[in-house]
Chain A
Amino acid sequence: MDWDLLHRAVTTIGKGVGTTLTLASVSLALGFCLGLGLAVMRISGNRLLSGFAEYYSAVFRGTPLLVQLFLFYYGLGQFDFVRENPILWWVIGGGMHCAIMALALNTAAYTSEILRGGLMSVPVGLIEAAKAAGMSRALRFRRIEFPLAIRQALPAYGNEMVLVIKGTSLASTITVLEITGYAKRLMSQTYAIFEVFTIAGIFYLLINAALIFAIRRIENRLTSPGR
């Protein structure tokens, strides 16, 4: 066992943890908002809105994240109008921004499906009771439908969060130096593939273990003690 190498691997790859967490948290936050919007569109009853949400989800869930990433980063980057538009170029131009966008758009599709399931599981009786009590549509959504839907959807959404954490590793293919990016760089310097990627794997495992633990805690708190 080469301790110097292990030490070097931990410190080098550790430098990428912050970037991995930023990628995951920002894209999850954006993706959740988008996904919630899409889920509401999906169950809205408006055929145009629900049709759009359905196609969106089919496209983003039906293509690999790596393909989406390459399309946005290398594909869109080739067009002049994208390069000359400062806002578009702010999003597409940097590897980090582009990776966040691709991850957010991708997770939004999955999140919308998860939340739609949650929203549909809210018993009709509860909604009718809220209506009878004179609650407005917005209030009903905020107080009744959304909290119940989240409780229902949390286990599946926790799963999706773990997938996003793992998905961030693809950002290394568009020059972002996160955990995998540093690991690849160290691999080509040392050729100690086994050690380097074991350490990288352990970092992901620790992040996901912490995440799963946190979600369990929230799940337990949301479950009413009476049941």
Chain B
Amino acid sequence: MKLKLLSFAAILACGLGPIAHAAEGELVIGTEGAYPPFSMADANGNVTGFDADVGNAVCAKLQLKCRFVVQAFDGLIPALNAKRFDIIISGMSITDERQKQIDFSRSYGEFPNHFIAKKDSELAGAKDLDTLKKDLGGMRVGVQAGTTHAAYVEKNLPDAQLMTYDTLDQMQIDLASGRLDTSFADVTAQNDFLAKPDGADFQLVDVVIDSSSDATLGTGLGIGIRKDEAELKERINQALCDLGADGSMKAASEKWFKMDISQTCK
């Protein structure tokens, strides 16, 4: 009897496992959930942040219901192709490498990237990219796995000791504990760290590194869409244009970043 019950429970558990297929009228959005202020998931699985606002606004335009699925950043593209969700909104930059795997919407924003360093360090005083690159030789540089920042450091700083982390939190802990000399991320993620007590001794290195510096950094943030979904892509692009035109993108950006990073349709 017990065994019967147990096997019944097991079968039930298998059947009711994670159902990834979107219900009718639902748009399932994959996001990282641990990358403030883009995407923060709380213990209940509710996602807030800039990505959540963009997602909800797009859903409203498309007249669909949003559902967020939280997934580590380096697994987002594989999971999209495995149809675990319909689109990715996760502060993801549009790059050539990623475009081999998935399509992107038009860009909806762009950020500069920065290294950060201890306030009194030599690194903090670097004023141009060449000096900075030289200073970084042999240093322990933290990046998040699967990001454009990881690709940038790997390509442009072969002498640096690259340390990859699954989440931003883990990287920030190692910065605070002194296991890292510096980290490379976009300005909003870095400012998030600097605003914390642990980040008090750190500052941004005053060298802006944007997508014009290197192709690995991509061409702005895009919404990831599977390659065979041309129609969805068209509708999302239209929604993004509308949101840019009516000012909701600007409002969301200023709410989370205190600056306007949105890009409007020309």
Contacts and interface: CB of A to CB of B under 8 A. Distances in A.
A191 B78 contact: yes
B177 interface: yes
A175 B151 CA distance: 16
A114 B255 CA distance: 59
Interface stretch (A44-52, A161-169, A182-190): A182-190
Contacts of A94: 179
Contact of A78 (B164, B165, B176): B176
A185 B154 CA distance: 11
B74 A175 contact: no
B177 A78 contact: yes
Contacts of B100: 191
A188 B78 CA distance: 9
Given A83-B177, A175-B164, A175-B165, A187 B74 contact: yes
Contact of B178 (A83, A175, A193): A83
Contact of A188 (B150, B176, B179): B150
B166 A173 contact: yes
B78 A193 contact: yes
Nearest to A194: B78
Contacts, number: 45
B146 A188 contact: yes
A93 interface: yes
Contacts of B165: 175
Interface in B107-143: none
B177 A189 contact: no
- Chain A CB within 10 A, most for which of B97, B170, B173, B179: B179
Given A188-B74, A188-B150, A93 B179 contact: yes
A171 to B, nearest CB: 13
Interface string A78-117: 1000010000000001110000000000000000000000
A78 B178 contact: no
A191 B95 CA distance: 13
Nearest to B145: A188
A173 B174 CA distance: 13
A53 to B, nearest CB: 32
A185 B147 CA distance: 11
Contacts of A184: 74, 145, 164
A191 B101 contact: yes
Contacts of B146: 187-188
A55 interface: no
21 contacts: A74-B170, A74-B173, A74-B174, A77-B177, A83-B177, A93-B178, A95-B163, A95-B179, A175-B165, A175-B174, A184-B145, A185-B145, A185-B150, A185-B164, A187-B74, A187-B146, A188-B74, A189-B97, A191-B77, A191-B97, A191-B100
Given A93-B179, A188-B145, A191-B78, 10 more contacts: A77-B173, A78-B177, A93-B177, A94-B179, A95-B179, A175-B174, A184-B74, A184-B164, A189-B97, A191-B100
Closest 5 CB pairs of A and B: A188-B146, A77-B177, A188-B74, A175-B163, A191-B101
